[in-house]
Structure 1
Amino acid sequence: MDDKPERRIVVFGAGYIGLVTGACLAQLGNQVVVRDIDPEKIRLLQSGEVPIYEPGLGELIARNKERLTFTLDLQQALNGAEIAYVCVDTPPSASGDADLSRVWSVVQSLEGASYLRAVVVKSTVPVGTGARVRAALDTVGLQHVGYASNPEFTAEGTAVRDFLHPDRVVVGVSDEATARLISELHEGVDGPVVVMDVRSAEMVKLASNALLATKISFINEIATLCEKTGADIEHVADAVGLDHRLGRHFLRPGIGWGGSCFPKDSEALRQLANNTGYHLQLLSAVIEVNNLQKRRAVQKLKDELGTLMGARVALLGLTFKPGTDDMREAPSTVLAARLLAEGAEVSCWDPMARPAEVEPWTSTSRHVSPELAVEGADAAIVVTEWPQLKEVDWARVVTAMRRPVLYDGRNLLDPAAMRGLGFTYISVGRP
Structure 2
Amino acid sequence: MKLSVIGTGYVGTVTAACFAELGHEVICVDTDEKKVDMINSRQAPIIEDGLDEILKRNVGVSLHATNNYEEAVRNTDFSFICVGTPSDIDGNIDLQPLKNACRCLGTNLRNKKKYHCVVVKSTVVPKTTEDVVIPIIEKESGKSAGSEFGVSMNPEFLREGKAVYDFMNPDKIVIGGIDKRSQLCVKELYDKIDTNVSITDLKTAEMIKYVNNSFLATKVSFANEIGNICKLMGINTYEVMEQVGKDFRISPHFLRSGAGFGGSCFPKDVRALIGKSIELGYDPKILQSVIELNEKQPLKVIDILKKKMNKLEGTQITVLGLAFKSGTDDIRESSSIPIINYLLEKGAYVVAYDPLAMNNMRNVFSNIRYTSTIEEALENSDACLLMTDWDEFREIDNELNLMKRKLVIDARYVLNPNDIKADIKYEGLCW
Aligned match of 1:413 in 396, 415, 418? 415
**CA deviation digits over 1:357-400, x for unaligned, max 9?**
444x11111001111101111101111111111223x22x3321
Q: Distance in 2 between matches of 1:213 and 1:183?
A: 29
Query: 1:69 aligns to what SS in structure 2?
Result: strand
**CA deviation digits over 1:145-181, x for unaligned, max 9?**
1111111000011101111111111111121111110
- Determine whether 1:289 maps to 2:283: no
Query: 1:314 aligns to what SS in structure 2?
Result: strand
Aligned match of 2:36 in 33, 42, 52? 42
- Determine whether 1:88 maps to 2:83: yes
- Determine whether 1:355 maps to 2:355: no
Q: Distance in 2 between matches of 1:180 and 1:331?
A: 42
Q: Distance in 2 between matches of 1:202 and 1:237?
A: 31
Preserved contact between residue 69 and residue 108 of structure 2 (Cα < 8 Å): no
Aligned-residue identity in percent: 36
- Determine whether 1:424 maps to 2:403: no
Where do residues 192-203 of structure 1 align in structure 2 (5 Å cutoff)?
A: 192-203=196-207
Query: 2:28 aligns to what SS in structure 1?
Result: strand
For normalisation by structure 1, the TM-score amounts to 0.95
Preserved contact between residue 14 and residue 163 of structure 2 (Cα < 8 Å): yes
Aligned match of 1:223 in 204, 224, 227? 227
Preserved contact between residue 8 and residue 83 of structure 1 (Cα < 8 Å): yes
Where do residues 81-120 of structure 1 align in structure 2 (5 Å cutoff)?
A: 81-110=76-105, 111-113=107-109, 114=112, 115-120=114-119
Aligned residue number for residue 390 of structure 2: 386
Q: 1:158 to 1:398 in 2, by over 3 A?
A: closer
Q: Which segments of 5 or more consecutive residues in structure 1 lack a partner in the other structure?
A: 1-6
Aligned residues: 420
Q: Distance in 2 between matches of 1:417 and 1:252?
A: 19
Letter of the 1:135 partner, please give it. Answer: P
Aligned residue number for residue 159 of structure 2: 155
Q: Distance in 1 between matches of 2:24 and 2:76?
A: 11
- The CA RMSD measured in Å over matched residues stands at 1.2
Q: Distance in 2 between matches of 1:48 and 1:244?
A: 42
Query: 2:4 aligns to what SS in structure 1?
Result: strand
In the TM superposition, what is the alpha-carbon distance from 1:142 to its structure 2 partner? 3.0
- Determine whether 1:135 maps to 2:140: no
- Determine whether 1:57 maps to 2:56: no
- Determine whether 1:12 maps to 2:45: no
Moved more, 40-49 or 79-88: 40-49
In the TM superposition, what is the alpha-carbon distance from 1:356 to its structure 2 partner? 4.7
Q: Distance in 2 between matches of 1:375 and 1:324?
A: 26
Letter of the 1:112 partner, please give it. Answer: N
In the TM superposition, what is the alpha-carbon distance from 1:112 to its structure 2 partner? 3.5
Q: Distance in 2 between matches of 1:419 and 1:296?
A: 24
Q: Distance in 2 between matches of 1:270 and 1:112?
A: 35
For normalisation by structure 2, the TM-score amounts to 0.95
Q: 1:185 to 1:398 in 2, by over 3 A?
A: closer
Aligned residue number for residue 328 of structure 1: 332
Preserved contact between residue 163 and residue 189 of structure 1 (Cα < 8 Å): no
Aligned residue number for residue 3 of structure 1: none
Q: Which segments of 5 or more consecutive residues in structure 2 lack a partner in the other structure?
A: none
Tell me which stretches of 4 or more aligned residues in structure 1 moved more than 6 Å.
none
Preserved contact between residue 85 and residue 124 of structure 2 (Cα < 8 Å): yes
